[in-house]
Chain A
């Protein structure tokens, strides 16, 4: 019987340790993740909070402690970031949020890419559909295997 309890107690201890470890690593990961979503407000350098290395920076240690405390209290990511915004202003977030007008910051580059792609495809199609030009000298056009042969020959000649 004592052996059975000892075994159970050992399992329980292992389970609790694992939970603590997992919880700890999760909290550490959250701290790292959140610490890279806010910037240190010590100057105009836009440095990520966890990367600020300004000598005598009076903000980063304090901000890190605040972040760690928030993570320890189990507050959600949104709540933590919101608290930072309320205290330090919206510039504390290192990238635009995906809400309201800030969404435009994220959408525009992709919109330009899509519009640009559509334009290039349309341009290529238009240019491709234009009739083949006739040489000024009126040389009869060649086609089929003869044309392919000339192309290969020209390619070889120009490549080397």
Chain B
């Protein structure tokens, strides 16, 4: 069995290498004779998919058949592991996850190569670039991180098992989502670089790239928040984001990808920022690879599993090659990216996008800087330091609030120029609403002057209300116009409005999701927690809740043994729930894991953690967190996904996007 997997990987490497070399020769030579060579390259790319799929099937089959002769299966699976987690073995360790990366890239490549008739030459360029990336990952798999490496010595009876922290339903979908995001950025990168290399005329590649970027961005968003939800539900520290280097690595391409999705509109509508957009998508791809390097090289310490390995140098070399290739073709063909830069007014949609991009990139720089500063400190001061949550929170929260303000203002600004009167008219009611929110929150007991975190919380909620009201007012204003013309009710008109320009109104729904998430984040300023040893009948009070320990016990299962408590929850003297915080001990890996008991409502989460047994008294120690508004975060994510899906639906009525006007005077300058 391992031999089949090994040969499949070798075959995949040979096929993708052929796809790269033959495709490259065909592009360089050009002419009709090269068309056949290009077609063979395309077909080799498709065949790569089949070979990588075969390798992945072999690895999964080995996990299900407990083939511990394969070192990877021995390290990441065991006999008693439930089926879904055996499947998840594919991405649970270094080698498997690289194979999974390769599989997803091959899948994206397959879709791209099957759709080549859209624009054969552009797709041929993109196909070659994807083949190049594929060759890199297959080289890694074949020579540096082989998933089918054979165990040395006698065959073990059972495996080490999957890391218990990963034995959670979300872990079966979180990594695929994240990888779909990471890997997916290869496609817009390939189109952008391909268009630059071939000096592609027109903006068609931008339309293709934008859609791919949006799909990828949606996956990455899902992946990031699934990870946050997993951390909240499994790690048992009461939080969802710890600014761990691996978390940061996923956030970096998300930030530049978000910037790209906004700034690309400037290119489509006004023919501006062409150089900027190309480099944004280059940076997004480079950051995806850089994130992978961070998590696998051991350069920075992280709680995540594959932090220590020797494949970092491969990634450094690959990053250097990509950067040089991008730079060379940019220098060679930058005149192709001539832009028509002219602004009529500072108060315009164009300006808001410029500031939006600035803030997103400063946020990206801050995350990167904070993540790498320990390494820099070691070089300069000869010792590492820790850059933890207080640093990121203190720097990024004000930036996030500025972004929220821009999110409120942006949709109210017209392209080219907005009169101050029109801005005032559109902004008045949302601003009054935000101000009223501040007054109400203070009246209900929020004291922003007592602590800076309360101030940030209040401002975040107020700005979120501002954004939400501008979004709602945009829908109502547009809906009313349609209602007037068609006689439909307002809701039906708003649906029709969204269907007429799905990208714009889908984007507004995404913004709405973001503000719901921000409100959830704002609740963190009011988190409370308490820890207590709880014997039979013991009580603990926190917030308005009283917790009573009804019982505690132990249980033994094939895969793990567990200790858990039964806690009755009372509020206002009435029992409202019973919670079961649990701690598991996994036999194979000899590791423990927390199963948090969480009573989640829109107002707050009552989050119980079984900390362990006091060895002296034999009684459990229970930690309780009262975390306000956390559920808003998860609801907000669903809204964001919904908005992204809307934005991907084709318009019911094509939107007229005027082509940038060609000018006689003021010759355009290269660059942005």
A53 and B165 alpha carbons, distance in the complex (Å):
14
Residues A29-77 near B (CB distance < 8 A): 36-37, 39, 43-48, 51-53, 55-56
Known: A46-B244, A160-B478. A131 touches B666 (CB 8 A): yes
Find out whether the CB atom of B395 lies under 8 angstroms from the CB atom of A155. no
A117 and B355 alpha carbons, distance in the complex (Å):
8
Minimum CB–CB distance for B550 against chain A, Å: 23
Query: Does B388 reach chain A (CB closer than 8 Å)?
Result: yes
Mask, B284-315, CB within 8 Å of A = 1, is 00000000000000000111000100000000
Query: Does A159 reach chain B (CB closer than 8 Å)?
Result: yes
Find out whether the CB atom of B388 lies under 8 angstroms from the CB atom of A127. no
Residues B369-396 near A (CB distance < 8 A): 369-370, 373-374, 377, 380-381, 383-391, 394-395
Find out whether the CB atom of B361 lies under 8 angstroms from the CB atom of A48. no
Known: A89-B383, A101-B380, A102-B385. A130 touches B342 (CB 8 A): yes
Chain B residues, CB < 8 A from A96: 373, 377, 385, 387, 391
Residues A97-153 near B (CB distance < 8 A): 100-102, 105-106, 108-110, 112-113, 116-117, 119-120, 123-124, 127-128, 130-136, 138, 148, 151
Find out whether the CB atom of A94 lies under 8 angstroms from the CB atom of B389. yes
A113 and B365 alpha carbons, distance in the complex (Å):
10
A117 and B478 alpha carbons, distance in the complex (Å):
33
Find out whether the CB atom of B612 lies under 8 angstroms from the CB atom of A105. no
Find out whether the CB atom of A135 lies under 8 angstroms from the CB atom of B346. no
A120 and B355 alpha carbons, distance in the complex (Å):
7
Find out whether the CB atom of A105 lies under 8 angstroms from the CB atom of B391. yes
Find out whether the CB atom of B390 lies under 8 angstroms from the CB atom of A53. no
Find out whether the CB atom of B345 lies under 8 angstroms from the CB atom of A48. no
Query: Does A81 reach chain B (CB closer than 8 Å)?
Result: no
Output the nearest chain A residue to B672 by Cβ-Cβ distance. Answer: A123
Find out whether the CB atom of A102 lies under 8 angstroms from the CB atom of B377. yes
Find out whether the CB atom of B390 lies under 8 angstroms from the CB atom of A136. no
Chain B residues, CB < 8 A from A148: 419
A46 and B656 alpha carbons, distance in the complex (Å):
52
Chain B residues, CB < 8 A from A130: 341-342, 666
A160: contacting residue among B383, B497, B662, CB under 8 A: B497
Chain B residues, CB < 8 A from A52: 237
Residues B393-435 near A (CB distance < 8 A): 394-395, 399, 414, 416-417, 419
Chain A residues, CB < 8 A from B656: 158
Among A102, A113, A148, the one with the most B-chain Cβ atoms within 10 Å of its Cβ is A113
Known: A46-B388, A48-B388, A151-B417. A160 touches B482 (CB 8 A): yes
Chain B residues, CB < 8 A from A89: 383
> How many residues does chain A have at the interface if contact means C-beta atoms less than 8 Å apart?
55
B612: contacting residue among A56, A127, A151, A156, CB under 8 A: A56
Minimum CB–CB distance for B374 against chain A, Å: 8
Find out whether the CB atom of B390 lies under 8 angstroms from the CB atom of A43. no
Find out whether the CB atom of B362 lies under 8 angstroms from the CB atom of A92. no
A112: contacting residue among B362, B583, B623, CB under 8 A: B362
Known: A133-B663, A133-B665. A108 touches B237 (CB 8 A): no
A155 and B419 alpha carbons, distance in the complex (Å):
12
Residues B475-497 near A (CB distance < 8 A): 477-478, 481-482, 497
Find out whether the CB atom of B362 lies under 8 angstroms from the CB atom of A131. no
Minimum CB–CB distance for B659 against chain A, Å: 12
Query: Does B316 reach chain A (CB closer than 8 Å)?
Result: no
Query: Does A17 reach chain B (CB closer than 8 Å)?
Result: no
Find out whether the CB atom of A105 lies under 8 angstroms from the CB atom of B387. yes
Further contacts, 9 of them, CB under 8 A, given A91-B384, A96-B377: A47-B242, A53-B235, A56-B592, A101-B381, A105-B373, A113-B399, A119-B358, A133-B342, A136-B662
Q: Which residues of A contact B (CB under 8 A)?
A: 36-37, 39, 43-48, 51-53, 55-56, 89-96, 100-102, 105-106, 108-110, 112-113, 116-117, 119-120, 123-124, 127-128, 130-136, 138, 148, 151, 155-156, 158-160
**30 residue pairs bridging A and B, Cβ less than 8 Å apart:** A36-B390, A45-B244, A46-B242, A46-B301, A46-B303, A51-B237, A51-B238, A51-B239, A53-B235, A53-B594, A53-B609, A53-B611, A91-B383, A94-B389, A94-B390, A96-B377, A102-B377, A109-B366, A109-B369, A116-B361, A124-B346, A127-B342, A127-B343, A128-B344, A130-B341, A132-B342, A133-B665, A151-B416, A159-B481, A160-B478
Top 5 A-B pairs, shortest CB-CB distance? A133-B663, A94-B388, A44-B301, A45-B303, A95-B390
